[in-house]
Structure 1
Amino acid sequence: MEKQAATVTLRDQAFEAIKKRIVSGEWHGGMFLSEKMLSELLGMSKTPIRSALDRLEMMGLVKLSPKQGVTVQEVSLKKILEIYELRLSLETFAVRRLTGKMDAGFFAGLDANLAKQAEAIEREDIIRYVELDRQFHAMIIAGLDNEEYTEVMSRIQDKFLLVVRTTFDRNKKRLAGSMEEHWQIRHALAGTDHELSVRLIQRHIEYVKKIML
């Protein structure tokens, strides 16, 4: 049992390490990843790495081929739009349900996240800001207290973050604009106007679509 638990831990460590490099843009679409290189980089055998790669392939972040090996998956425009539509549906539903219903603990979490966003912007740390952006939206979905919604959000976020990061790479001034929109969404959730919350989250997410098209 202990050996099995250790293997699971290594698999998860490999998964998170590889995913982080892909989502951050350090490993770009089309890049070849050999199992030998990953094994040496992460300091572990190929067994947990292969398990991690299988999981990453299911998420659409890598492509496994018997002939070509492992390559970082490029996100097509069609896939971007599909993810965009799913996220838009999920988050508009969430803010409509949550507006005016959340407690002080929920807003304390959002406020702490927003404070860290400001620090990341001050340092022009795009990778850190993108992760905080992810957390902000994940906290909103978590407010529904529905495991199925949380799981769906987690699954699409990694792919969507590749697109979000691109918008910030193209325009660093967008960082401040994004955080301001987060503040507006936070305050709308504390109010009673459900449709205002929906309009704000729509405008926020649609910015990414406008940049990518």
Structure 2
Amino acid sequence: MPAATPPSRLQSRAYSELRRLIVSGEFPPGTFLSERQLAQQLEMSKTPVHVALERLEAEGFVSISAQQGIVVRGMSVEDIVDHYELREAVECWTVRRLAGRLSEPQQKLLQENIDQQQVALRDDDLSALMRLDGEMHCLLCSFLGNREIMTMMERLQDKILQVIIRVNHTDRTRPTESVAEHVQIVAAVLAGDGAHAADLMAEHLEAGKRRILNPSRFPAS
């Protein structure tokens, strides 16, 4: 079976930029997209944009149909539950496995991230805080050296970020709680208490899921 053709530089740039616009909320869920307008905005032809959109559709960021055209997808309740169940399985196992086994450089990276989160929280810099939050979770997974887990984590982080941005702007207590939970998780990992770290991670993810699934955001139909 022939190897898949790698994306061209323009295709990669179109994909990265469109994914950034969706994840950042600049193209919120429900936005209708036009290949022609996107090509003009990115200053390239429609072909790399078309390829990028097909890739984003496969990853669940957009829907493409003959009836509706191209629409940015939001996350349904079912999507969010699936997301958190998968993350809990992976991240609880990860911290349990890593506890007490990190090298000094790895410990330093984690502590620096926590310190930066606390600075961002003090400065009320939500953008930096959300970036650092995602980095901490991905850092932990990266220490395993498992590329499949890292690829999965990066995709999951980007998809849920669309929702977390809305939550953090409407519920200003969650960032403070989240940073405190991160501090406890990292402390347990560094102390070598894998069982406690896994329990703390499960509670942390459950708390985030509860805030996102607040009935005010997903009212019963």
Distance 1:34 1:119, change over 3 A: farther
1:171 maps onto 2:171 in alignment: yes
Shift of 1:155: 2.2
Q: Is the 8 Å Cα contact of residues 107 and 186 (structure 1) preserved in structure 2?
A: no
Distance 1:205 1:97 in 2: 18
Shift of 1:58: 1.0
Instruction: Give the structure-1-normalised TM-score.
Output: 0.90
Q: Is the 8 Å Cα contact of residues 141 and 150 (structure 1) preserved in structure 2?
A: yes
Tell me which residue corresponds to 1:73: 73
Tell me which residue corresponds to 2:136: 136
For 1:179, the aligned partner's letter is V
Q: Is the 8 Å Cα contact of residues 23 and 159 (structure 1) preserved in structure 2?
A: yes
Instruction: Give runs of aligned pairs for residues 79-94 of structure 1, distance below 5 A.
Output: 79-94=79-94
Distance 2:42 2:142 in 1: 31
Distance 1:186 1:59, change over 3 A: same
Distance 1:204 1:124 in 2: 21
Instruction: Give runs of aligned pairs for residues 25-174 of structure 1, distance below 5 A.
Output: 25-174=25-174
Shift of 1:47: 1.4
Q: Is the 8 Å Cα contact of residues 31 and 72 (structure 2) preserved in structure 1?
A: yes
Distance 2:123 2:142 in 1: 28
11-20 vs 82-91, greater mean Cα deviation: 11-20
Tell me which residue corresponds to 2:217: none
Shift of 1:197: 0.2
For 1:171, the aligned partner's letter is D
Query: What's the secondary structure of 2:145's corresponding residue?
Result: coil
Shift of 1:96: 0.6
For 2:165, the aligned partner's letter is R
Q: Is the 8 Å Cα contact of residues 164 and 212 (structure 2) preserved in structure 1?
A: no
Distance 2:168 2:98 in 1: 28
Distance 2:49 2:161 in 1: 23
Distance 1:79 1:94 in 2: 22
Query: What's the secondary structure of 1:205's corresponding residue?
Result: helix
Query: What's the secondary structure of 1:30's corresponding residue?
Result: coil
Q: Is the 8 Å Cα contact of residues 120 and 129 (structure 1) preserved in structure 2?
A: yes
Q: Deviations over 1:120-170 (max 9, x none)?
A: 334433233222211110111111111121122122221122232232122
Distance 2:93 2:42 in 1: 40
Distance 1:19 1:67 in 2: 23
Where structure 2 has 5 or more consecutive residues not aligned to the other structure, the ranges are 214-221
Q: What RMSD in Å do the two structures reach over aligned CA positions?
A: 1.8
Shift of 1:22: 1.4
For 1:102, the aligned partner's letter is L
Query: What's the secondary structure of 1:84's corresponding residue?
Result: helix
Distance 1:34 1:122, change over 3 A: farther
Distance 2:115 2:45 in 1: 40
Q: Deviations over 1:25-77 (max 9, x none)?
A: 22111110111221121111111111111111111011111232211002100
Instruction: Give the structure-2-normalised TM-score.
Output: 0.87
Shift of 1:112: 2.5
Distance 2:162 2:90 in 1: 19
Query: What's the secondary structure of 2:71's corresponding residue?
Result: strand
